[in-house]
Amino acid sequence: MKPSLNYKNWLRRVTPRVSQEVRRVELAYIAGFLDGDGCIMLQLVPRKGYILGYQIRASIVFYQKQQYRSFLEGIKERLIYGYIRERKDNMVEYTIVGLKPVESVLTLLYPYLRLKKKQAQLALEIIRRIPKKVRASNKEKIDAKLLMELSSEVDKFALLNYSKRRTNTSEKVKEFLESHNLLNPVETDP
């Protein structure tokens, strides 16, 4: 189980012997790296085992050439969450996936972001509309009405991230929910 990540605990864990100003500079540097060589995404992901058919997946990805893998490992040590993987095209990705981890990291980096501030703000707004028990557990699910509302908000990421290949949209979610009578369930007499 991953530790609870709030700003004060994170600062103590990262650099316990360094001044607050140095910690802020470090967060600003990581935010700048995310602005330049990173991505914030919210996606609608089809899930066969889910009653509602779709899940909202939140992720943050940092990209770098394989020769600088240790740099990404240093960032991972500080942000705690996620994993690093090497791609076949000589690139390395440091990926953080999940509502709670993404919310925690974006909360830390938000004050320092410049280019990706709108994406971070939208991501945090959407994530925070999801009930806490759902964010904290992969077992809890949101209801159909909320999924439909939030999937329309997730569509806005296509514009902010200049997405060209996006195929899972709120329209697809709506089609699935309607075809399974999940948006407007039929009432039955007792």
Residues with a known catalytic role: 36-37
Are the CB atoms for 114 and 35 separated by under 8 Å?
yes
- Residue 57 CA, distance from chain mean position: 6
DSSP for the chain, written as a single string: -PPP--HHHHHHHH-TTS-HHHHHHHHHHHHHHHHHHEEEEEEEEE-TT-TTSEEEEEEEEEEEEGGGHHHHHHHHHHH---EEEE-TTSEEEEEEESHHHHHHHHHHHGGG-STTHHHHHHHHHHHHHS-HHHHH-SS----HHHHHHHHHHHTHHHHHTT-SS----HHHHHHHHHHTT-SSPPP---
